[in-house]
Amino acid sequence: MMLEGRTILVTGAARGLGAEIARCLAKHGADLVLADIAEEEGHAVAKETGARFIPLDLGEPASIEAAAKALGEANGGTLHGLVNNGAIATGIGGIPFDEIDIESWDRVMRVNVRGTWLMTRAVAPLLKAAGTGRIVNVASDTALWGAPRLMSYVASKGAMMSMTRSLARELGPDRIGVTAVAPGILTTESTDYVPEARHRLYAEGRAVPGAQGPGEITETIAFLLSEGALALTGQILPVNNGFVFN
């Protein structure tokens, strides 16, 4: 129960990895607030985990501000942790870099990069008020090894890693720890579209061979949200069973 008494906001929590993160954090005693654009599924995960749900569209600044305001009013102005998990990850792969539609590129950057920045900015006062705030950015190891035919996603996750390091220095004086996890391909519905050859590349190339389920990285995220994780601020952790080392 290392998160007992700590209020944690998880974005993109309605399905896939986000839902698994919510289940893990609930197990560790967190007071959870879940946010997603998919309201019906988000409410279902919230009910399952005993969490509150806030509708959130990371592509819309007004939605982000409204979510932060609702969170502050409902929780006495304090937040102990933020998991920036919400992102566009499907429908953008398998396309050569010179064939990516500009509108698609801008949409990925708007949600994955700008949305992460604006969400962090919006709740930073709440994290500062807690005195032990923690931010975990969910990046991707594709930005570490340079996955081909996935340029907009890779670029967005590389940006998240860079923001992690910069934010760690800006928020460090307030004792807010900022880290990022960089998973590889996980066995969630969001990776169903990935070609079998890419799944096989990961399964055979990991130091710990085989498929990797989301439950294998959620415990790491739970620890990074704890009070004891401050010493790791600024670090990028490839949680991919040894497919790539940082």
Quote the tokens at residue 54: 């806030």
Cα–Cα distance, 242 to 235 (Å, whole number): 16
> Which residue in 92, 124, 138, 153 is the catalytic one?
153
Three-state secondary structure readout of 187-213? CCHHHCCCCHHHHHHHHHHCCCCCCCC
DSSP 5: T
Instruction: Give helix then strand counts, H and E, for the chain.
Output: 9, 7
* pLDDT tens profile 55-86: 999 999 999 999 999 999 987 888 999 999 99
- Catalytic, 153? Answer yes
Options 3.20.20.140, 3.30.1330.10, 3.40.50.720, 3.40.50.300; CATH of 7-237: 3.40.50.720
* pLDDT tens profile 31-62: 999 999 999 999 999 999 999 999 999 999 99
